[in-house]
A and B are shown apart, each in its own frame.
Chain A
Amino acid sequence: DAKTTQPPSMDCAEGRAANLPCNHSTISGNEYVYWYRQIHSQGPQYIIHGLKNNETNEMASLIITEDRKSSTLILPHATLRDTAVYYCIVRVHISGTGTASKLTFGTGTRLQVTL
């Protein structure tokens, strides 16, 4: 399974953009990059995903390099409520199961947003 590497922690001032990097150099051509976050031991919350194009939604933007070996999650205006552990995940299809897939979580990046 493709592995991801993230910095263990980052700080960001409230109101500034938070840029969270992720390395996934062994990703295969049809594997998606997903980002989830986990706030204080709650269930993980979906943020965004992409294959090769940059993506944006109401929560964040996802920038994927052309070679797909790394990506960056951007929270454009971080708030205190964005303090969480952010997981970058490569979604792997489970062969022989139709559309079933699995998410392999690493240890993530702990983002601390400060005043």
Chain B
Amino acid sequence: NAGVTQTPKFRVLKTGQSMTLLCAQDMNHEYMYWYRQDPGMGLRLIHYSVGEGTTAKGEVPDGYNVSRLKKQNFLLGLESAAPSQTSVYFCASKSGTDTQYFGPGTRLTVL
């Protein structure tokens, strides 16, 4: 099992550009999550999904959209990137009452 994978690992955007971050898990997990982590801080929940076709807002959802068209994939979209969205993005997944397993992260810089 690859576990939780994230694509891309690094990306640099200009203000106003759009992009999609992909999270994939091969553990057949129901729940998936997107977090962001800014320097010196803990992770903050952006959006989450409790199953295929469902999404919900977390603590800091503004400026992001998500989709869960397939159970194994959770996409995070930035429609118009802003410098404030410079961060490291982590995806996680879990099943039932199990623990959350995290991906390696995507480092995004918005100029």
Contacts and interface: CB of A to CB of B under 8 A. Distances in A.
Contact of B50 (A41, A45, A98, A105): A98
B58 to A, nearest CB: 7
Nearest to B90: A43
B48 A43 contact: no
Nearest to A97: B50
Contact of A42 (B41, B44, B96, B104): B104
A68 interface: no
Interface of A: 34, 41-46, 49, 87, 94, 97-108
A44 B33 CA distance: 13
A105 B35 CA distance: 10
Contacts of A34: 99
Instruction: Say what secondary structure dominates the interface of chain B.
Output: strand
Interface of B: 4, 31, 33, 35, 40-45, 48, 50, 56, 58-59, 88, 90, 92, 96-97, 99-105
A100 B103 contact: no
A99 B29 CA distance: 12
B42 A41 contact: no
Contacts of A98: 50
Q: Which of A34, A45, A98, A102 has the most CB of B within 10 A?
A: A102
A107 B42 contact: yes
6 A-B pairs closest in CB distance: A105-B42, A43-B102, A105-B43, A100-B50, A46-B99, A97-B50
